[in-house]
Structure 1
């Protein structure tokens, strides 16, 4: 996969999403070759939804989300368990009248979060929520009663019966979008967390927040606006390259083999030998002596870490074989796996002597995370994280899911620290 923006999809999203900040956004999307429609608006406004700003029901909070990762810790204190919920809830409280909240969440059972969303609507925030229809939780039904289901309104809450944009599957995203919160604008949150108690206390999850990137925000908002239509889209798989981010959106019915799988293609861009100094991990010979570069310094190999809830099926097998191939080529690979790992996948990984852990405390990963330090796409000094809601399974290809690729040392160090916590204490 070359990461280039599919211009057909760009034009489709441009028709769906309008941009609030002309001077900032127009320059950003012009550099991408994406022609979003632009309308003037006041601070905090979101002209993508027409509504009268209602009288504020209460004072708006001052919490300002920042770019970076947040993790819950199911083996920790209650405060640590609900860290992601707290981040989302405080952001809701800090969304001002006239702004828009968009959420697409597979499971939503948090009454506290539902209350905050209803209060936000009453103070003049446009609140738009999509759920999957596998189960009707009480807070979901309350939001539907309070906000209504008419997707043309400024506020609504509704189920997608199957995949919102595809023919089968389901709505499996965990995406939270805020046009403004505190002093931040264009807030994108992508992760593996459902809004349920089980997710907080029994599962390791993550959420990655990006603040102040209008092109990324409006790409996610555009896909959301396709999802709210709840009908099959002609171009379901969308991938883009936006600054240091690489968002992908499923379903992807075109995947029929490993060569057509976007994740397999990205794994194929990893090389194991030749990581730059300070990247990857030191390389050693079978006898324990260091592998040396021609200049006498110690060589480094690419480090790969995976934390996956569900990894199974034919697709899981070909991705496992690719990971095993990388291990045999010298990459330093470790895996935390969840309850959805398939027996064939687990056998492939184990037979290639890849260290694995499922957690010893009854808590399991719900993440869908891959990250590396070393050689990616020919760059020996890469640090890249893939997170989101997308499992490595056959079924995941049919679902509304997202993968967010994030490049840079901040995301890598945050996810690496979380992985080591899971490895030692999970």
Structure 2
């Protein structure tokens, strides 16, 4: 074990230091024209690539396993598709060998099933480090995921270098700021099977609810060291639980934006401000197509974004919006814009643990965008469009000129729009609190003691 960790640590440190030095030398952390950028149209995302080894004969990691880049969606109404994101995560974990690193940030980790998979990776010799929101972690009693992971990941660290020991911990509020909450949802893996430099992120937390109750997205970038090292720089800052400057950088066609923000252009407006509604050559109608799926719109920030959407609607853009929560002021701004509330109430009243709702946090554009009449753009994020989202730990990724990825998002959001049961006119309050009411960070939702994780996971496994 000492030889394995010693070799991995030295190589890992050398590679990381060199890569980060190169990244930091670029002005504003800008790295342009990266040749190895992974594109959704370079490989299919419908299913994981098959291993060349015989599955029945292999008990440990498969060195030939390939992590497929692109986007994965789950569908809470369809049993076989509920756990799609979970399966993507578990297959990646299963093929991480000893000496490799797994880094995770999630607002909530409350899944006995996923906890067992991370613990198994740690026991194999992988370095597992997890950060989650403190309020939720502290509210979990014995037998829940946080204390189980905390105790299990402490064991077996004696022979490992300090930076490669496994742990789960929390930050005081945000990990890279002074207020807000830790609300990111991402996983960084140095290598799984034959695939290197894996960046996974999206809207889903590591809970049964993320699969059974919510529509979520999960994008995967592979074999792109510059993107991976940039995200690892963010991780290195987050683990110190101190305030850092804003971090934004572009590698090829991928722009990464991390909150807390420091007065920069809003990630949503960074996309919307580049949209021209007419002159599209790739939509068939000449109108730019804008599909938006963001769970929560609130505060003045949400109103500013809504006003921009309203402007683009008036200018002739083809727009569809799906959401879960929205203040009355913002609903008023969007009146007349095609918008639906995806909160499907399964009982007599709204119940967060029974209802099905949209939890994605982003948008996609096809048409005249960023000066290209045949442009494509996707924003995938953990960030609700609220004041709290602005000041919390969040991640945003903008994929540009990736037609296959754009089409997948458009199709998925249009499907949610078709089945969403409510319009702005028959909006109902969800089980979450009114976004206009100021709440203590970490207490935005129902207490973890009320979370029926065993019941939810019984629907999956």
Secondary structure (helix, strand or coil) at the match of 1:273 reads: coil
Q: Alignment partner for residue 404 of structure 1, among 387, 397, 406?
A: 397
Which residue of structure 1 lines up, in the alignment, with residue 66 of structure 2? 64
**Greater mean alpha carbon deviation, residues 360-369 or residues 170-179:** 360-369
Cα distance in structure 2, aligned partners of 1:19 and 1:161: 31
CA gap 1:406/1:133 in 2 versus in 1, 3 angstroms: same
Counterpart pick for 1:280 among 272, 278, 283: 283
Displacement of 1:254 in angstroms is: 2.4
* TM-aligned CA deviation for residue 75 of structure 1: 0.8
Shift of 1:145: 1.2
Deviations 1:36-84 (A, max 9, x none): 9xxxxxxxxxxxxxxxxxxxxx61146421111001100111x311110
Of 334, 344, 356, which residue of structure 2 is paired with 1:349?
A: 334
In the alignment, which of 143, 149, 166 is matched to residue 143 of structure 1?
A: 149
**Equivalent-residue separation in structure 2 for 1:125 and 1:389 (angstroms):** 26
| 3-state SS, counterpart of residue 383 of structure 1 | strand
2:30–2:251 Cα contact (<8 Å) kept:
no
Does the 8 A contact of 2:16 with 2:229 survive in 1?
no
Distance 1:107 1:27 in 2: 33
Q: Please tell me the root mean square deviation across aligned C-alpha atoms, in Å.
A: 2.5
Q: Distance in 2 between matches of 1:93 and 1:310?
A: 34
CA distance in 2, matches of 1:102, 1:184: 16
Superposed counterparts of 1:186-265, under 5 Å: 186-233=197-244, 235=245, 237-254=246-263, 260-265=265-270
Q: Deviations along 1:167-226, whole A, 9 cap, x unmatched? A: 001110000111101111000011000111122111100000011111111111110110
1:269, CA displacement in angstroms? 1.5
The 3 A distance-change label for structure 1 pair 35 and 248 is: closer
Q: For the Cα contact (< 8 Å) 1:281–1:332, is it kept in 2?
A: no
Q: Which moved more, 1:370-379 or 1:354-363?
A: 354-363
Aligned to 1:308: 294
Provide the residue aligned with 2:455 in structure 1: none
The number of residue pairs the alignment matches comes to 359
| Alpha-carbon displacement from aligned partner over 1:216-237 (angstroms, at most 9, x marks no partner) | 111111101100001122x1x2
Q: TM-score, normalised by structure 2?
A: 0.73
Give the corresponding residue for 1:120.
Answer: 121
Is the CA contact (8 Å cut-off) linking 1:69 and 1:209 kept in structure 2? yes
- Secondary structure in 2 aligned to 1:66? coil
Structure 1 segment 3-402 matched on structure 2, within 5 A: 20=15, 29=23, 32=26, 59-61=60-62, 63-77=65-79, 79-136=80-137, 137=140, 138-148=144-154, 152-233=163-244, 235=245, 237-254=246-263, 260-276=265-281, 279-282=282-285, 300-338=286-324, 340-350=325-335, 353-359=336-342, 361-362=344-345, 363-402=356-395
CA distance in 1, matches of 2:390, 2:309: 19
List gaps (5 residues or longer) in structure 2: 1-11, 32-58, 346-355, 421-461
For residues 202 and 222 of structure 1, the distance between their equivalents in structure 2, rounded to whole angstroms, comes to: 33
Q: What is the Cα deviation at residue 356 of structure 1?
A: 1.2
SS for the counterpart of 2:135 is: coil
Once the two structures are superposed, what CA deviation does each residue of 1:144-182 show, in whole Å capped at 9, x if it has no partner?
A: 112249985521110122100100011100001111011
- Distance in 2, matches of 1:35 and 1:397, equals 22
Q: Is the 8 A contact 1:64 1:94 kept in 2?
A: no
For residues 21 and 405 of structure 2, what CA distance do their matches in structure 1 show? Answer: 26
